[in-house]
């Protein structure tokens, strides 16, 4: 299983007037962490159109469970992994730690997409390339 970890410093702009991370910012952290996860596996978003004919993997569902707040100036560690691949969609799990404590859990469902063959202004799901599946299976 391929897992990516990154450290994020909580900035002033991430926080609400109470001085804790404003909850939508976590979803921004999750989105960036998914991109970091794929890049660490060897798949940069900027190279996907040429390499796979794909234009991305937009999110179609997301949720989070908050266990404890994070505050300005703290460092958090975000651990991300693909929990399941299906034909054209996949689930990503994120766990945010403050030290050893689990602070936030997040889940995303994303779909591998390319340009729609009949409408260049639209997108259409595509099967996830075997190369991607194999790389994540190897860990």
State the CATH number of the domain containing residue 59: 3.10.129.10
3-state secondary structure of 53: coil
Q: Which residues span the domain enclosing 8? A: 3-138
Are 92 and 83 in contact by the 8 Å Cβ rule? The answer is yes
Give residue-wise pLDDT tens across range 19-58. 999 999 999 999 999 999 999 999 998 998 899 989 999 9
* Of 116, 133, 134, 40, residue with least CA distance to 80: 40
Q: How far apart are the two ends of the chain, measured CA to CA in Å?
A: 4
Which residues are designated catalytic? 16
Is pTM beyond 0.85? Reply is yes
**Structural domain tally of the chain?**
1
């Amino acid at each position: 299983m391929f897992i990516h970890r990154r450290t994020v410093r909580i900035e002033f702009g991430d926080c609400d007037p109470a001085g804790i991370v404003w909850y939508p910012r976590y979803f921004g952290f999750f989105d960036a962490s998914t991109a970091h996860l794929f890049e660490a596996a060897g798949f940069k978003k900027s190279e996907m159109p040429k390499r796979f004919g794909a234009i991305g993997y937009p999110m179609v569902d997301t949720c989070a469970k908050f266990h404890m707040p994070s505050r300005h100036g703290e460092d958090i560690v975000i651990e991300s992994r693909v929990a399941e691949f299906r034909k054209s969609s996949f689930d990503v799990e994120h766990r945010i730690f403050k030290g050893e404590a689990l602070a936030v859990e997040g889940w995303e469902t994303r779909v591998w997409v390319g340009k729609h063959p009949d409408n260049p202004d639209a997108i259409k799901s595509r099967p996830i390339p075997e190369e991607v599946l194999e790389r994540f299976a190897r860990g």
